[in-house]
Amino acid sequence: MSKPLEGVRVLEMAGIGPGPHACMMLADLGAEVVRVERPGHREAATDRHTIRGRTVVTADLKSAEERAQVLGLGGAADVLIEGYRPGVMERLGLGPDVLHAQNPRLVYARMTGWGQHGPLATRAGHDINYISLTGALHAVGPVERPFPPLNAVGDYGGGSMMLVVGVLAALLERERTGRGQVVDAAMVDGASLLVQSLLELRDLGMWNDTRGDNLLDGGAPFYRTYECADGRFMAVGAIEPQFYALLVQGLGLELAELPDRDDRRNWPELSKIVAERFLEHDRDHWVEVFEDTDACVTPVLTFAEAPEHRHVAARRSLVDAGEGSVVAQRAPRFLTGSAQAVHPVPGAPIEAALADVVSTWRSGSR
């Protein structure tokens, strides 16, 4: 696989959540990532695959000597990524002004929930808090109460993905200007950006603030999940009329005999009809019915089942890393010259001495 970021050096100040996830993506794409951890504070085992593909060093940032070594790494890096609360890196003497004084080309990327300024900037929070202020959390879940969509919307969709976009854009800008940039990646901003299309629908009167009453939130009978006879589920995404017709055909129903799906007042009745039909058979039956159609109907798989699906397996989107571990393959892919190649997932992190890495980076060797 092509490694478009080969030769790019990333200094990662150890944290949890979107920062390590973003660095994982950068390492997957070929960047040389050095992760700086505090002595005796190796992150939990839950991150063991997320911190793949990099070198790990330890540094006591309260020590002037070791802080100076980290400053040396920053002087030789292309990108620095940190996820502390605003002001922490400045108090350590490692803020962007200090780093840019010795390395003007550095892309200094800051990953937080609330951002570098604003009334809540220094407050603690987690994914659920950041998305709760954007409207995104309110829109997810049944009528009774909102459900957190895992931590995908804040931490990763609105966090690490936006951070990576910011880093790559700043690297591209550097090619034009010769100077680095400070990237302020805030989950509250990123999550807001993710729901822009829904905000547009709301402006047009095509979305309301009642959960389970809209096109994409489970309200539409042709865009929701249905339980099968065995207690498992099928996902239905038959939005377009031609796909909806195939859904109806696969269910053994007659389109002309069903309530008009374009009239929202019919959605409860139509959902009930479709739900009753799905309950007549187990999930495997419906998989067979819809497997080779364009009805946009697929099984809802567990994390254990997902790697075995024929498409997921063919693309190796999820792979067995041994000892029962399932890990996500690198993404996106770059196909020039290697469209059909099978590529291994980057390996476990390698521990190294801080002084050795500083020496290598400062020597200029790549």
CB 27 within 8 A of CB 4: no
Ramachandran region, residue 124 (left: φ > 0; alpha: ψ -120 to 50; beta: rest) = beta
Distance CA 291, CA 207 (A): 31
Catalytic residue from among 47, 78, 155, 189: 155
Provide the b/e sequence for 202-230 (b: ≥16 CB within 10 Å).
Answer: beeeebeeebbebeebbbbbbbbebebee
Q: Give yes or no: 28 in active site.
A: no
Q: Give yes or no: 262 in active site.
A: no
Catalytic residue from among 100, 126, 138, 281: 126
Nearest to 247 by CA among 264, 226, 219, 265: 226
- Exposure on the CB side of residue 27, measured as CA atoms within 13 A: 27
Sign of CA dihedral 101, 102, 108, 114: negative
Distance CA 5, CA 343 (A): 16
Distance CA 82, CA 14 (A): 7
CB 27 within 8 A of CB 20: no
Beta strand pairing call for 223-227 and 233-237 = antiparallel
Within 10 A of 248 (CB to CB), how many other CB atoms are there? 22
So which residues are the catalytic ones?
Answer: 126, 155
